């Protein structure tokens, strides 16, 4: 209803004003109704999101359609990924930083696979990673991601995809693969392992990848000498009152070995191991339960110590029973190179003992051995004789023993190009200073062998530069000692009170007793031939002489005999040298310092007291000589393939040297 004031009615234009007001009011009301209808017909995205969902199935809503307040909830980090086996099923658990709201799963055939897609804004987008699972139902697990979802692909070990269940769990998803086994077989929890290390799949900030190098590898603690080194994959296990046979079956699969457990092993196992190599876990289970194992190829037999002992005794008794029933065999073995007497002590331990003892008869005239025993023992004796009855290599040792000055010794070494060789080994210190202390210098002849050396020494001897003491050559058997001597025998008179009834220097009645002193050079060589053309020589060189003057003043015996006690000066060098066949080595450093005093002058006048020195000449001469030994070993006659190698000879010699 419209009320008009009297003032308004007196205006002559009031009908026109009323009509204009009605039109404006109607227009404003129509605009308002139009805007209201537009708001009702076109709801906003927020109102649509808040409206209840329809009862019918709706398609998957992409993360971009979720309201802004839930975007932070959809962003998640992968924190952990672990699996275990329980009741014959394989169980996976995936844990994230936020609850999972959207996921899907489907299966594939040829090959059989289960694919699980977890939707959300994954902050960790790694490349494809593959982990080996090797459980009852799953072989491998692949983890990959793309923009908007994370994908887990499980390769099934069976030809068909088994039944499986996926259900949400606090902070993630739980997936159970495989049918339920009625009888519980214990629980096995295994961490994902790659390269022997536990895989940590928790989210981390993106960092530049560091290349794996040998220096960045985890070396761990050093392994003590004799301690077993475990190389299996690291696993985590937990058992509670579980049958030990089930535990061993799980460890057999983890180690990819065949394990046979005897029926007398009846134990229950309760244990927890974390990050332990799989082969060490097997040893721990065996040792802690008082069991033992025997490995034959890829099969491990596990039983109690008593069972193994009884089985061994039973097998031995069975073998003895078979041996008693087996007829005896007789065989004649002809020996070609060895002596039958030397082989007897080595054959007897191989013969049968007990009621039917084997026998061995030796015929030294024909060098034949008669063996009577069961066939197995006869075969063992024949094999032993074949290995021992080999031609013993002979070694020709050519040597040159000279006395010269140290200067000429160095000069001839340079002239003949004697140089150190990598093929030569020696345990004697080389390169020591040239003093009176003997040492060994080891060289290799590269200039034509022993013939050129002999020619050079002969020419030097004619010039007076060298004194050749001897050129002995001996032939000896392998590993048999040989001795070369160049001696001077000196007899020294003993005091009259000394009475020697027999032996060298024996004296009776008024005869003067003497003592024999051998001075000179003794060279002792023991060669050992290898199968690869080397010769190991144990060398001992000794040079001895008597002192120029006695240490005690001469005395006179009862019959006017002068007794002069001399001192013996001895120098020796011992070395083990490994050289090639036909090479020449040099042993030097055995020095001799001699002093000579001579007097000359006018007869009678030189003996005049006080003034005699005017008519005589006294000459002092000092000689400094070095004993040098050249040795060239040569193998004559064929060697044998049964001989040790050069490295084996040298290692054995070093063990003897260090032990002695």
pLDDT in tens, 70-115: 444 455 677 778 888 887 788 888 888 778 878 888 888 878 899 9
Reduced to 3 states (helix: H, G, I; strand: E, B; else coil), residue 94 is strand
Q: What is the pLDDT of residue 372?
A: 92
Mean pLDDT, residues 603-623: 79
pLDDT average, residue stretch 280-292: 91
Q: pLDDT-derived band of residue 430, with 50, 70 and 90 as boundaries?
A: very low
C-alpha–C-alpha distance, residues 120 and 323, integer Å: 78
Distance (Å, whole) CA 436 – CA 589: 7
Q: What 3-state class would DSSP assign to 450?
A: helix
Higher pLDDT, 571 or 365: 365
220: phi then psi, degrees, rounded to nearest 5: 75, -170
Q: Is the pLDDT of residue 38 over 50?
A: no
Question: With 60 as the cut, is the pLDDT of residue 383 above it?
Answer: yes
Lowest mean pLDDT among 148-157, 215-224, 327-336: 215-224
pLDDT band at 26, cuts 50/70/90? low
The pLDDT confidence band at residue 9, using thresholds 50, 70 and 90, is very low
Could you report the per-residue pLDDT of 438-459, keeping only the tens digit for each? 444 444 444 444 556 667 777 7
Instruction: Please give the C-alpha separations between residue 345 and each of 220, 370, 388, 478, in angstroms, as whole numbers.
Output: 51, 14, 13, 21
Beta-carbon contacts of 354 under 8 Å, excluding residues fewer than 6 positions away, are 320, 323, 324
% of residues, the chain, pLDDT over 70: 64
CATH fold group of domain 74-198: Immunoglobulin-like (2.60.40)
**Confidence tier at 593 by pLDDT (50, 70, 90):** low
Backbone torsions φ then ψ of 345, nearest 5 degrees: -65, -25
pLDDT for the residue numbered 37: 39
Please tell me the distance from the alpha carbon of residue 315 to that of residue 321, in angstroms, as a whole number.
Answer: 10
Per-residue pLDDT for 369 more than 90? yes
Residue range 481-491: mean pLDDT, rounded: 84
Which pLDDT value is given to residue 291?
Answer: 92
Mind listing the pLDDT tens digit for each residue in 404-423?
776 666 666 555 555 444 34
pLDDT confidence of residue 506: 54
- Reported as a pLDDT band with limits 50, 70 and 90, residue 370 is very high
| CATH of the domain spanning 327-388 | 3.30.1370.120
Reported pTM: 0.44
Cα distance between residue 313 and residue 348, in whole Å: 24
Task: Pick the most confident of 373-382, 392-401, 536-545.
Answer: 373-382
Cα-trace Rg, the chain: 52
Position 295 pLDDT exceeds 50: yes
Q: Is the dihedral of CA 417, 421, 423, 426 positive or negative?
A: positive
For the chain, the average pLDDT equals 72
Burial (CB < 10 A; 0-12, 13-18, 19+), residue 174, is: middle
pLDDT of residue 598: 73
How is the chain split into domains, by residue range?
A: 74-198, 327-388, 394-495+513-549+564-659
Q: Residue 255: which pLDDT band, with cuts at 50, 70 and 90?
A: confident
Q: How many residues in the chain?
A: 660
Cα separations in angstroms, 387 against 390, 493, 597, 641: 7, 56, 64, 10
User: What local confidence, expressed as pLDDT, does residue 466 receive?
Assistant: 78
Whole-number Å distance between alpha carbons of 269 and 249: 13
Report pLDDT for 79. 78
**Max mean pLDDT range (493-502, 562-571, 617-626):** 617-626
For the segment 328-366, what is each residue's pLDDT rounded down to a tens digit?
899 999 999 888 998 999 999 999 887 778 899 999 999
Q: What is the DSSP string of 142-174?
A: EEEEETTEEEEEEEESSSS---EEEEEETTEEE
Lowest mean pLDDT among 77-91, 207-221, 616-630: 207-221
């Amino acid at each position: 209803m419209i009320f008009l004031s009297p003032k308004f009615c007196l205006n002559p234009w009031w009908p026109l004003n009323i009509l204009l007001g009605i039109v404006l009011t109607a227009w404003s009301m129509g605009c308002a109704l139009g805007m209201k209808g537009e708001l009702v017909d076109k709801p906003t995205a927020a109102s649509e999101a808040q409206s209840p969902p329809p009862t019918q199935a709706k398609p998957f809503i992409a993360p971009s359609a979720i309201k802004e307040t839930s975007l932070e909830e959809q962003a998640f980090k992968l924190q952990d990924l672990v699996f275990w086996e329980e009741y014959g099923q394989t169980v996976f658990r995936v844990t994230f930083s936020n609850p999972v709201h959207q996921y899907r799963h489907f299966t594939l055939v040829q090959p059989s696979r289960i694919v699980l897609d977890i939707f959300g804004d994954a902050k960790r987008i790694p490349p494809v990673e593959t982990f080996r699972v090797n459980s009852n139902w799953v072989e491998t697990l692949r983890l990959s991601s793309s923009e908007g979802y994370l994908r887990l692909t499980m390769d099934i070990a069976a030809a068909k995809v088994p039944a499986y269940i996926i259900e949400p769990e606090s902070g993630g998803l739980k997936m159970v693969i495989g049918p339920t086994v009625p009888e519980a077989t214990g629980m096995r929890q295994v961490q994902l392992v790659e390269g022997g290390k536990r895989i940590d799949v928790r989210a981390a900030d993106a960092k530049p990848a560091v290349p794996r190098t040998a220096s960045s590898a985890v070396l761990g603690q050093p392994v003590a000498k004799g301690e077993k080194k475990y190389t299996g994959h690291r696993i985590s296990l937990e058992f509670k009152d579980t049958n030990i046979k089930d535990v061993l079956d799980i460890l057999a699969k983890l180690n990819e070995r065949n394990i046979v457990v005897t029926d007398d092993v009846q134990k229950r196992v309760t244990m927890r191991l974390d990050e332990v190599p799989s082969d060490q876990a097997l040893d721990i289970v065996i040792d802690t339960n008082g069991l033992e194992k025997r490995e034959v190829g890829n099969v491990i037999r596990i039983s109690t110590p008593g069972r193994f002992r009884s089985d061994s005794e039973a097998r031995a008794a069975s073998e003895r029973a078979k041996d008693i029933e087996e007829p005896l065999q007789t065989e004649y073995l002809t020996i070609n190179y060895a002596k039958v007497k030397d082989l007897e002590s080595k054959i007897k331990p191989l013969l049968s003992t007990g009621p039917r003892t084997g026998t061995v008869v030796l015929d030294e005239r024909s060098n034949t051995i008669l063996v009577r025993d069961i066939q197995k023992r006869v075969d063992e004796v024949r094999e032993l004789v074949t290995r021992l009855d080999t031609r013993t290599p002979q070694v020709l040792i050519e040597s040159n023993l000279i006395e010269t000055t140290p200067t000429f010794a160095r000069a001839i070494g340079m002239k003949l190009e004697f140089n150190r060789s990598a093929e030569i080994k020696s345990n004697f210190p080389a390169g020591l200073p040239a003093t009176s202390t003997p040492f060994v210098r080891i060289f290799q002849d590269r200039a034509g062998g022993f013939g050129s050396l002999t020619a050079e020494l002969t020419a030097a001897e004619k010039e007076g530069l060298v004194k050749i003491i001897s050129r002995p050559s001996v032939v000896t058997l392998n590993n048999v000692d040989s001795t070369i001597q160049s001696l001077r025998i000196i007899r020294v008179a003993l005091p009259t009170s000394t009475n020697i009834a027999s032996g060298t220097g024996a004296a009776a009645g008024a005869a003067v007793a003497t003592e024999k002193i051998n001075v000179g050079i003794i060279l002792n060589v023991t060669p050992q031939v290898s199968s690869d053309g080397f010769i190991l020589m144990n060398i001992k060189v000794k040079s001895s002489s008597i002192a120029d003057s006695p240490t005690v003043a001469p005395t006179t015996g009862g019959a006017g005999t002068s007794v002069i006690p001399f001192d013996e000066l001895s120098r020796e060098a011992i070395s083990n040298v490994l050289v090639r066949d036909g090479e020449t080595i040099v042993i030097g450093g055995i020095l001799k310092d001699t002093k000579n005093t001579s007097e000359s002058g006018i007869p009678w006048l030189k003996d005049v007291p006080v003034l005699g020195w005017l008519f005589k000449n006294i000459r002092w001469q000092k000689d400094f000589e070095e004993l040098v030994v050249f040795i060239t070993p040569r193998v004559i006659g064929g060697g044998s393939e049964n001989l040790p190698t050069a490295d084996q000879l040298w290692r054995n010699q070093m063990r003897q040297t260090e032990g002695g």
